[in-house]
Amino acid sequence: MVNTISERSVGLSARQNFMTKQELFNKADQYKKNIQAAHPLKPAEVKELDAYFKVGLTYSSNAIEGNILTISETKVLLEDGLTAGGKPLKDSLEAIGHAKAYDFMLLIVRAKPFEITEHIILELHQLFYEGIDKENAGKYRDISVYITGTDYLPPEPEQVPLLMKEYVAKVNQLSGTLHPIELAALAHKWLVDIHPYVDGNGRIARLLMNLLLMHHGYGIVSIPPVLRLEYIEALRISQRSNQPETESFIKLIAEFTIETQKDYCRLLRIKAN
């Protein structure tokens, strides 16, 4: 159970970064086609996969932000309710909150019809953050925030409500126009650019990215903590004032999507190409 994509993907960029964006999309789509052609899953199998990826995504997404729970400690906390001795309480609260937001994400993606709304994004943050800071959970920030390690300055708080309305409209408008992986990657990036919350922006962006990917038939995509610096650097390049570019970030998300598809093939015993 704990041998997730987060621990097995070291070097994936070295293997795939010579490929073009479209080649990466094509490869991910071929894996998706193979998975969808396999036998239908039983409800119990779907439940097992949901739990498997809940642990993996909760661990990896929190680890990227500095949470020190191991994947085994995350599993025990979410499945048995046992906290890790000697670890900060906040780390456990982040894992519990992320798991709640993950469950909500699954409910939304399996509902029809589907469309991104401000309510969905706010509810994801509410569920994730209410155990940590109830006052700011599910609310746009009313203070200026700064992102360490970059020169990028997020918008002022009074700009956030309008920017979020425009954000939702843009994501929905581009659905069906861009390749789903590109749209999911850009939706992630744009939300981080706005930085609408006092904290938890990266985790909500990754949940929203997964919401879009799952809606289009891809699996849960985790960012391996061992590739944290590469992920942050790709985001930084996309935000720089001088010659920003998003290609590197989109390709990185495509690579992670491929690794997820491989993981599904392994779990479902599907022969991969």
Q: Which residues are catalytic?
A: 195
Summary count for the chain: helices (H), strands (E): 12, 0
**Neighbour-count burial of 237, counting CB atoms closer than 10 A to its CB (0-12 exposed, 13-18 middle, 19+ buried):** middle
Q: Quick one: CA dihedral 203, 5, 106, 164, positive or negative?
A: positive
CA–CA distance, 17 with 12 (Å, rounded to integer): 8
What is the number of other CB atoms lying within 10 angstroms of the CB of residue 151?
10
CA–CA distance, 48 with 79 (Å, rounded to integer): 12
Helix (H, G, I), strand (E, B) or coil at 175: strand
Greatest CA separation for the chain: 52
Helix (H, G, I), strand (E, B) or coil at 53: helix
CA–CA distance, 258 with 273 (Å, rounded to integer): 12
